[in-house]
Amino acid sequence: MTTATLRATPRTGPAWLVLSLACACQFMVILDASIVNVALPTIRVDLGFTPTGLAWVVNGYLLTFAGFMLAGGRAADLFGHRLTLVAGLLVFSGASLAGGLATAPEVLVAARVAQGMGAAMLAPATLAVVNTGFTGERARARAFGAWSAAGGVGGMAGAVAGGAITTGLSWRWVFLINVPIGAVLVAVAVVALAGTRTGGREPLDLTGAVTGTAGLAALVYGVMRSADHGWTSPQVAGPVAAGVLLLVVFTVVEARFATRPMMPPRLFRIRAVAVGNGMLLLFGGITIAMWYFTSLFLQNVLGYSALRSGLGQTPAAVTFVVVARLAAALLPRTGVRPLVLAGCAGFLAGFGWLAQAHAGSGYVSGVLGPTLLVAAGIGLTFPTLMAAATADAPEGDAGTIGGLATTTGQVGGSIGLAVLTTAAGARAAAETGGRPPAAALAAGYDLVFLIAAGLALAIAALTPLLPRHHRD
């Protein structure tokens, strides 16, 4: 029997339990990308971090998360979704325990790197569970809506939860809280998911795994450093060039030499996969502009604390969750194109409005109104694009395509963060002459919001290339 004819039982537990498991794992993975931010000042004092070293508490997680997701997605296909998900939970929880007990900066950074590896196994495995466990069009759309909403809530809850835990308990509980949650999720995964492998007895493509993972990690590392160094500096140009070269080698190896490629080139001949991932790459920049730079505007221009800033973005998070569920209900009736175009309209209106904000703007008129529009746009487009980019996945490639879609969004966010930070800094520097610092910063953030509107126009232009209908 070929891989294409093997039919794995995607789940053994009830649908609600499987979906709850996938959503909880996604929530935990995305939450951990942001929950540490509020605790960083306390961590720096307690463990004696240098300012440069402190950044790696965040970057170590994001770097390995983005770099290892392709390998994690392929592992889910070859070794089974349950095994990969459980392994990811064990690595993630064990690293969280090590981080919570860390007494030296090096130990905490190493724990964050290990957390990123665990997350890189978890994220594509949960996406594959949704993709294979809910095959009916309506059920699948609802599942993607819930999965997307869980990730969005996790990202937004980070600032609030991090502030509350750090203030009420200790920064160590930002990590330690993952240990009992991970143990419960492991037990649920063992009960709810089938252990059947979808990839037969195929070996893992080690050459592809090494070149692909190293290429992505080097590329993301170089882009991350662009915030502190110029794009032409050796600290940025060197890793970016090495990453591009390794990804070229990865492409050649996968296309010509690998007998069982980690990322089969045939997948890119599926129009939904190719176009959907291109749109997710652009979408990563939009999400960064919304959540990251809106938070900076609230703190640096309007003078909010980090915790108050997180609370100020809560209405947008609630809007995202509600609209994502609505998009899930509409997707089987409308198809992907109308929802993506409606989301782009929300982006254009919201970011156009945000670009008018300044130091004298009030919260309601300057931030709340436009962020609700942008959050509605994200709620319409994110689950729709994820469903579109994974809908036509062949039976044995659900994890691989899920890993590709998640990786694309993460890399798009990393590149978007670097580019938008550079643009905001340059604009703010040009506006500093004779203007208050808050006004100069506001001008930089306004430019970011205009660029995000341009990304929305690019996504809208690509929308007609998406297939109207997908295989059920």
Q: Examine the domain organization and report whether 287 and 375 are in the same domain.
A: yes
| Amino acid, single-letter form, for residue 295 | S
What the block records as the tokens of 12 is 């053994």
The reply to whether 164 falls in a domain is yes
Same domain, 322 and 456: yes
In this structure, is residue 1 part of a structural domain? no
Count CA within 13 A, CB hemisphere, residue 43: 34
Judge residue 269's burial from the number of C-beta atoms within 10 Å of its C-beta, 0-12 exposed, 13-18 middle, 19 or more buried: exposed
Which of helix, strand or coil describes residue 284? helix
Contacts for 232 with CB less than 8 Å, ≥ 6 apart = none
Q: Say if residue 33 is in the same domain as residue 168.
A: yes
Give 136-142's long-range contacts (Cβ < 8 A, gap of 24+).
136/472, 137/332, 137/472, 138/332, 139/15, 140/387, 140/391, 141/328, 141/329, 141/331, 141/332, 141/383, 141/387, 142/325, 142/328, 142/329
Tell me: do 290 and 398 sit in the same domain: yes
2-32 burial, b at 16+ Cβ within 10 Å, e below that, comes to: ebeeeebebbebeeeebbbbbbbbbbbbbbb
> What value, to the nearest 5°, has the Cα angle with vertex 298 and ends 293 and 304?
140
- Indicate whether 6 belongs to any domain: no
What is the number of alpha carbons within 13 Å of residue 188 lying toward its C-beta?
A: 19
Residue 158 and residue 296 in one domain? no
Residue whose entry in the numeric block shows the structure tokens 């059947």: 196
Give the single-character DSSP code of 169.
Answer: T
> From CA 240, how far away is CA 358, in angstroms rounded?
35
Residue with tokens 């709810």: 192
Q: Which helix (H) or strand (E) holds 142?
A: helix 137-168
272 & 398 share domain: yes
Here the tokens at position 410 are 């993460």
Q: Which of 132, 116, 127, 128 is nearest to 29 (CA)?
A: 116
Range of the domain at 278: 268-465
Distance CA 121, CA 207 (A): 18
Q: How far is CA 80 from the centre of its chain?
A: 23
Q: Same domain for 415 and 294? A: yes
Count of residues for the chain? 472
Of 160, 176, 204, which residue constitutes the final position of a domain? 204
CA distance 245 to 57: 27
- Alpha carbon dihedral 26, 376, 313, 370, in 10-degree steps, equals 150
Q: Are residues 58 and 160 in the same domain?
A: yes
Q: Measured in Å, how far apart are the chain's first and last C-alpha atoms? A: 23
Specify if 81 maps to a domain: yes
Q: Is residue 325 part of a domain?
A: yes
186 and 286 part of one domain: no
How is residue 290 written in tokens? 């919304």
257 in any annotated domain: no
Judge if 336 and 424 occupy the same domain.
yes
Provide the domain count of the chain.
2
Is there a contact between 94 and 146 (Cβ–Cβ < 8 Å)?
no
pLDDT tens string for the chain (472 positions)?
333 333 444 446 678 888 888 888 888 887 777 777 767 778 888 888 876 677 678 778 877 887 787 777 777 777 777 888 899 999 999 999 999 999 898 899 899 989 988 988 888 888 777 777 776 667 777 777 777 777 767 766 776 777 677 777 888 888 888 899 899 999 988 888 765 555 455 566 677 778 877 887 788 778 777 767 777 888 888 988 998 898 888 888 877 776 777 777 777 788 888 888 899 989 988 887 887 788 778 888 888 876 677 778 888 888 988 898 888 888 888 888 999 999 999 999 999 999 998 888 888 888 999 999 999 999 899 888 888 887 766 666 666 777 788 778 877 877 787 788 888 888 888 887 767 888 888 999 999 999 999 999 999 999 998 876 544 4
User: Do 406 and 293 reside in the same domain of the chain?
Assistant: yes
**Token duo for residue 436:** 């208050």
Residue where one domain finishes, among candidates 156, 187, 204: 204
pLDDT of residue 350: 94
**221 part of a folded domain:** no
Cα distances (angstroms) measured from residue 192 to each of 19, 21, 185: 10, 8, 10
**What string of DSSP letters covers 283-345?**
HHHHHIIIIIHHHHIIIIIS---HHHHHHHTHHHHHHHHHHHHHHHHHHHHH-HHHHHHHHHH
Of 238, 279, 235, give the one whose Cα is nearest residue 461: 279
- Does a structural domain hold residue 237? no
- Residue 377 · residue 351 · CB < 8 Å: no
Q: Longest Cα pair distance anywhere in the chain, in angstroms?
A: 74
- pLDDT for res 7: 40
The helix-helix angle for 105-133 and 81-100 (nearest 10°) equals: 160
pLDDT of residue 1: 30
Q: What angle do CA 295, 296, 302 make, to 5 degrees?
A: 95
Specify the pLDDT at position 456: 94
* Domain limit, last residue, from 161, 176, 204: 204
CATH number, residue 18: 1.20.1250.20
The reply to whether 197 and 274 lie within a common domain is: no
